Amino acid sequence: MKKVLLFAAFAAFAMTNVNAQDDSSGFAKSDIFMTGTVGFNSASAGDVDTSSFDFSPSVGYMMTDNLAIGASLSFGSMDDGSDVDMSSTGFGVGVTYFMAPTSKFSMNVGAGLNYRTDSVGDLDVNTFSFAISPGFNYWIADSWGLVANVAALSYSSSEADVEGAEAVTGFGLNVDLSDINFGMVYKF
């Protein structure tokens, strides 16, 4: 419910300013921008305390007024109190098309390829994924903007790094409000 209310507030705020034009807002050819995510989670169940940390920086470059390319890294770790180390590393590349890049409010569609390795002790699981996701940008200052991705069409294939392991594939179409991701972008 909290995501629904946050999305509704974001959409209402963005729509009230959708016609406001500012020459310094939005993206233009040759702009470089940075975005990413940072996350920390902690949970307790009985005597077991679990915590996890994720960090995923990304950088993008506007090839044209409407088209950006980007690259990302991802790092993660999890501690459940056991002696088994759990970590994740990955990288990705992608492209995003912006409908009205120079407006304060802009819709976009992005597509990306990602590769990630999840390690649990001596076992590695390698995952290749592809996703297409629509989103929105709203510029709150000359160089700072809010971003939201609202759905995803995705495919993934995971395989453990052991002899004889079979790949596990998945396909998903998430268009419900539980798959909204909010973030910020900084334009140099």
What string of pLDDT tens digits covers the 188 residues of the chain?
444 434 444 444 444 344 444 445 678 899 999 988 888 888 888 888 888 898 889 999 999 989 999 999 999 998 887 877 789 999 999 999 999 877 888 899 999 999 999 998 889 999 999 999 998 889 898 889 888 888 889 999 999 988 888 999 999 887 766 667 777 888 88
Strand pairing of 123-139 and 86-98? unpaired
State the Cα–Cα distance between residues 81 and 113, nearest whole angstrom.
33
Nearest to 88 by CA among 139, 64, 52, 134: 52
Residue 13 parent element (H or E): helix 2-16
pLDDT at residue 28, as a whole number: 86
pLDDT at residue 100, as a whole number: 81
Main-chain phi, psi angles of 111, to 5 degrees: -135, 140
Other CB atoms within 10 Å distance of the CB of residue 134: 16
Please count the residues of the chain: 188
Contact 101, 107 (CB under 8 A): no
What's the whole-model pTM score? 0.74
Residue type, 175: V
Please report, for residues 48, 86, 172, the alpha-carbon distance to residue 120 in angstroms, rounded to integers and kept in the order given. 18, 5, 25
State the Cα–Cα distance between residues 33 and 112, nearest whole angstrom.
17
Please give the structure tokens belonging to residue 168. Answer: 């596990």
Nearest to 90 by CA among 141, 52, 124, 49: 124
DSSP single-letter state for residue 1: -
Cβ within 8 Å of residue 69, ≥6 positions away? 60, 61, 63, 93, 94, 95
